[in-house]
């Protein structure tokens, strides 16, 4: 037997789990990790897993993690695009798992891109 409050808690938790099926682009932040052969070789998988961990840990809804193929700048891999609705896409390069916490905290939660990690600072 569940109380009304417990049911509401289940709803909230489950929405976080399944919103990637129902969310529309206007409210969802997308984290896109370059995962072609070059990206994987450069260590993209641990980066992607770090993003997933961080997002789960902070119970963020409205954030999806997906991958994309090679974008032709293999020397900058692992690369990660973060697209916050209503803002320009930000591309991070040479991403390492240690950098993920700051990107999630500063950029995804507080809306301030971490400039020193971006493609602009590295080119």
Partner 1 sequence: MDNYRAHVLVCGGTGCSSSGSATLIERFHEKIAENHLEKEVKVVRTGCFGLCEAGPVVIIYPDGTFYSRVKPDDVEEIVTEHLLKGRKVEHLVYVDHATREQNAEKKLEDITFYKHQHRIALRNCGVIDPENIDEYLAMDGYKALEKALTQMTREEVIDEILKSGLRGRGGGGFPTGLKWKFTYQSQADQKYVACNADEGDPGAFMDRSILEGDPHAIIEAMAIAGYAIGASQGYIYVRAEYPIAVKRLSIAIEQARDYGLLGKNIFETGFDFDLNIRLGAGAFVCGEETALMHSIEGKRGEPTARPPFPAVKGLFDKPTMLNNVETYANVAQIILHGAEWFAAMGTEKSKGTKVFALGGKINNTGLVEIPMGTPLRTIIYDIGGGCPNGKKFKAVQTGGPSGGCLPESLLDTPVDYDNLIAAGSMMGSGGMIVMDEDNCMVDIARFYLDFIVDESCGKCAPCRIGTKRMKEILDRIVEGKGEEGDIEKLERLAETIKATALCGLGNTAPNPVLSTLRFFRDEYEAHIKEKRCPAHHCKSLLQYKIDPAKCRGCTACARVCPADAITGTVKNPHVIDPSKCLKCGSCMEKCRFGAISRE
| Contact between 15 and partner 1 per CB under 8 A | yes
Per-residue DSSP letters for the chain? Answer: ---HHHHHHHHHHHHHHHHHHH--TTT-EEEEEE-SHHHHHTTHHHHHHHHHHHHHHTT--SEEEEEE---S-GGG-S-EEEE-TTS--EEE-S--HHHHHHIIIIIIIT----GGGBHHHH-
Q: How far is the CB of 87 from partner 1 (least distance, A)?
A: 18
Among 26, 46, 52, 117, binds partner 1 (CB under 8 A): 52
| Contact between 64 and partner 1 per CB under 8 A | yes
| Contact between 109 and partner 1 per CB under 8 A | no
| Contact between 87 and partner 1 per CB under 8 A | no
CB nearer to partner 1: give 36 or 74. 36
Among 43, 68, 84, 105, binds partner 1 (CB under 8 A): 68
Q: Evaluate whether 81 touches 64 at the Cβ level (below 8 Å).
A: no
Q: In 10 A of CB 38, how many CB atoms?
A: 20
| Contact between 115 and partner 1 per CB under 8 A | no
| Contact between 53 and partner 1 per CB under 8 A | yes
Residues at the interface with partner 1 (CB under 8 A):
1-2, 4, 7, 10-11, 13-18, 20-24, 28, 30, 32-37, 40, 48-49, 52-53, 55-56, 64-69
């Amino acid at each position: 037997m569940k109380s009304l409050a417990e049911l509401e808690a289940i709803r909230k938790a489950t929405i976080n789990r399944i919103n990637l099926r129902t969310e529309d682009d206007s409210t969802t932040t997308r984290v896109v990790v370059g995962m072609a052969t070059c990206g994987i070789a450069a260590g993209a998988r641990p980066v992607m897993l770090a993003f997933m961990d961080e997002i789960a840990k902070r119970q963020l809804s409205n954030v999806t993690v997906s991958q994309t193929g090679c974008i032709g700048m293999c020397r900058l891999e692992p690369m990660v695009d973060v697209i916050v609705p209503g803002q320009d896409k930000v591309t991070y390069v040479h991403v390492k798992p240690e950098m993920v916490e700051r990107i999630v905290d500063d950029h995804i939660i507080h809306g301030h891109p971490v400039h020193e990690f971006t493609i602009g600072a590295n080119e």
